Structure 1
Amino acid sequence: MKEKGNTFRLFWIRAHVGVEGNERADALAKEAARTKKTAPNYDKCPLSFIKHSIRKNTLEIWNKRYQNGETAALTKLFFPDVYSAFGVVRRTRLTPIHVQVLTGHGGFGHYLKRFKCKDDSVCDCDPANEGSVLHLLLDCPKYCKDRYELERKTDMKVQKETLDVLITNRNCQTAFLEFSTKVAKAAINRNKTKLL
């Protein structure tokens, strides 16, 4: 424009307040976007590649925070990294009970005592045992039969070292979620009764 001898100045104006030139420019931009029949300016690579790159970058940042964080100790037993968690969350319909089990945040004795909703955190099986999610899933004698059934279905021992496989492996996941739901519902209902 300068080469043609024109002068111009830039001004900031509020959008969509009836300024005639701005409204006209907005209408022309929308029309061009709707009616343009040429290839997009970003067609040098597929849009799916861009989305994949952004998702990958986001997951890397999230994983660093997750790995270096001092919280979520229980969740890290199920999901040692964000990639495994992301895969499960994307393809599995988790219920609120599942989330409580995977995070330990729910109506379990250990959690309720921590937030002073309950005087003790003991399990009904033995006053020496804490009513934590780990105790209920791995050790509580009340669920020996259910635990045995889960081990038989999955061909895997239920222990701390296998929790990640039980939740991320598609062949084990359904059986594990059914088992953990049964255990969690029973514990939550018992604690709810005690609170009342």
Structure 2
Amino acid sequence: MKTRLDNYTTIYSDASQTQEGKGIGVGIAVYNSTQQEIYSETVNIGQYQLVYNGELEGITRAFEYAAKNATTDQAFEVYADNQAAIYRLKNLSDNPGQHWQLRCLKAANTIRRKQANIHLLWAPGHTDIVGNERADYLAKEATKEDPRSTTKSIAYLGTTIKRIQQTEQRQEYEKYKARATALNKATYSAKYPLKISKTIQMPQNTKRVTSSAFYSLKLGHGYFNSYLKRFKKRDSNRCTCQNIQTPEHLLLYCHLYKDHRKTLLQTIKHRPVTLPLLLHTK
């Protein structure tokens, strides 16, 4: 007879977009109770989607795999590194993403009828978790495949509309500049060109994930619970360690990141190490 320990399955999912890819790649990797990979899957959901959509698709496919293969008393744990996607699927809403949520609910009901259970959990990305790294690799490989869909997601349409809006704003500015310069050649717009950077200016070779994390912490707007709780995107403002999860807590005090903090302190010789020092704030 199988025990619950023997009947334990872990599924990792991820999504990716590469410059040379044909669309958003999705990958899942499945491991048995002895951590042997027993199944993997890749799919390209097309160029008219966002990575966020791919994260939702990956989690959903993990649920559907579990529904198809579940047996009595089997336990499934699905891991993803995108907290926004996890939150979206865990909270009922008719906002964008409902399609994936309904598929997950259908799969979860099937799993329950088979007297098995499933849990959706967050796993931090790029932390050398074997399943996470495998799913990341599969997702990147999936970007090279031919897309299976030409559907345009609502989120993709939103970014397209924003891009059109920015183009129109630039055109309006150029018209204004021409009129202003004709009236006064010393006008500000004639002396100083408009500069709009598509990306945040960071030191050369800085990874995007690093710059995004830095500015999220600096501005106090990001995927930490003290911020998300304000907008009812989290049920609690507390960290896994039970302290309030603020940028200061994460950088200076949280014991979950003590090894990272040790590396930081070895690099920075200035003492004391404070939040203004780390984030260049007053």
TM-score range, shorter chain: 0.3 to 0.5
Which protein is richer in strand relative to its size?
2
Question: Looking at CA atoms only, which structure, 1 or 2, has the larger radius of gyration?
Answer: 1
